[in-house]
Amino acid sequence: MRHAVDLTGRVAIVTGANSGIGRGVALELARAGAKVVVNHRPNEDSERRGNEVVQSITDAGGEALAVAADISQEADVEQLFLTASAHFQSIDILVNNAGIEQPAAIQDMTLAQWQKVIDTNLTGQFLCARQAARAFLARAPTPPSDTAVGKIIFISSVHEVIPWAFQANYAASKGGVSLLMQSLAQELAPMKIRVNSVAPGAIRTPINAPAWNTPESLASLLKLIPYGRIGEPEDVARAVAWLASDDSDYVTGTTLFVDGGMTLYPEFRGAG
Ligand code: BGC
């Protein structure tokens, strides 16, 4: 695939970049020329995988840094941004990706399951967006430029609009992300900070492996996807790279669905 967007010299923080969509985004931004901060959770396995992503980027001639931080923790987020700006001098792009699922029937869902998902998927995205806004706003005005001084990209989900039984915590977090993103976009546009979301559908990553890792589950998943295939992290990553680039300079407050048509109510084809 051709790489049209140019992020040469830009610095991007990608949260949850050790696996899945975050990993794909980190690799894609690096391919486009960005220096990438590969955030991962502070545990051994995530650290190993974060370091592997950094290695792939540096092997290909790029620049990257792995930084451990639990993005649901205020102090960790502050430290993540301090480390990133100490290493790379500035921050131009935040990709607010880290997210988790804790499925349960509502009658069995514990407060801990509810809280954990909201803390990571919504509060964590707030904490990182706030820190990015602070960094962008503190930057000394650069010579007159017609393009944005900073970009925030939320990784949301089709479940910011599609209700999701047994994942009420997750759907609520993503519904929250939708208005968080739009409110920040409205608030920060006059300061030339662009804020958008990418809302993936079913993407082949570890988070949803049971939905695609047997022929039966894949067949039932494909009934929900008019385009007839599962998504790959690169499908999402290319959309993120475009939103992170100046090619999308007039785009703010938008959710770009990357879902093979999952939000088109495919069960209504020939029905209803
Ligand atoms: C979830 C996946 C799910 C997809 C489509 C995503 O937000 O993380 O588990 O397959 O939505 O339902």
pLDDT digits (tens, 9 = 90+) for 183-233: 999 999 999 999 999 999 999 999 999 999 999 999 999 999 999 999 999
Report whether pLDDT(147) > 70. yes
Atom of ligand 1 lying closest to residue 99 CA: 8
Please give the residue range of the domain that contains residue 25: 11-268
Question: Cβ < 6 Å from ligand 1: which residues?
Answer: 101, 157-159, 201-202, 207-208, 211
Please indicate, yes or no, if residue 2 is contained in any of the structural domains: no
Is 227 among the domain residues? yes
Active site residue 170: yes
Q: Residue 116 domain-assigned?
A: yes
Does the pLDDT at position 248 exceed 70?
Answer: yes
CA of 144 from ligand 1 middle (Å) equals 42
Cα-Cα end-to-end distance for the chain:
39
Averaged pLDDT of the chain: 96
> Cα of 71 to ligand 1 centre, how many Å?
20
Distance 136 CA to ligand 1 centre (A): 31
Distances (CA, A) of 188 to 62, 184, 243: 30, 6, 16
pLDDT, one tens digit per residue, over 18-70 is 999 999 999 999 999 999 999 999 999 999 999 999 999 999 999 999 999 99
pLDDT digit string, tens, across residues 128-137: 999 999 999 9
Atom from ligand 1 closest to the CA of residue 101? 8
Examine residue 55 and state whether it is found in any structural domain, yes or no: yes
User: Which residue puts its alpha carbon closest to atom 12 of ligand 1?
Assistant: 202
Res 262 pLDDT > 70: yes
Average pLDDT of the residues in 81-90: 97
The whole-angstrom separation of Cα 265 and Cα 162 is 9
Domain count, the chain: 1
- Indicate the pLDDT class of residue 3, thresholds 50, 70 and 90: low
Q: What is the 3-state secondary structure (H, E, C) of the chain?
A: CCCCCCCCCCEEEECCCCCHHHHHHHHHHHHCCCEEEEEECCCHHHHHHHHHHHHHHHHCCCCEEEEECCCCCHHHHHHHHHHHHHHHCCCCEEEECCCCCCCCCCCCCCHHHHHHHHHHHHHHHHHHHHHHHHHHHHCCCCCCCCCCCEEEEEECCHHHCCCCCCCHHHHHHHHHHHHHHHHHHHHHHHHCEEEEEEEECCECCHHHHHHCCCHHHHHHHHCCCCCCCCECHHHHHHHHHHHHCHHHCCCCCCEEEECCCHHHCHHHCCCC
Which residue CA neighbors atom 7 of ligand 1 most closely? 157
To test ligand 1's pocket by mutation, which of 155, 159, 235 has the most ligand atoms within 8 angstroms of CB? 159
Whether residue 208 is contained in a domain is answered as: yes
So what's the pLDDT on residue 143?
56
User: What pLDDT shows up at residue 4?
Assistant: 79
Considering the candidates 170, 227, 250, 265, report the single residue annotated as catalytic.
170
Instruction: Assign residue 19 the CATH number of its domain.
Output: 3.40.50.720
The answer to whether residue 3 is domain-embedded is: no
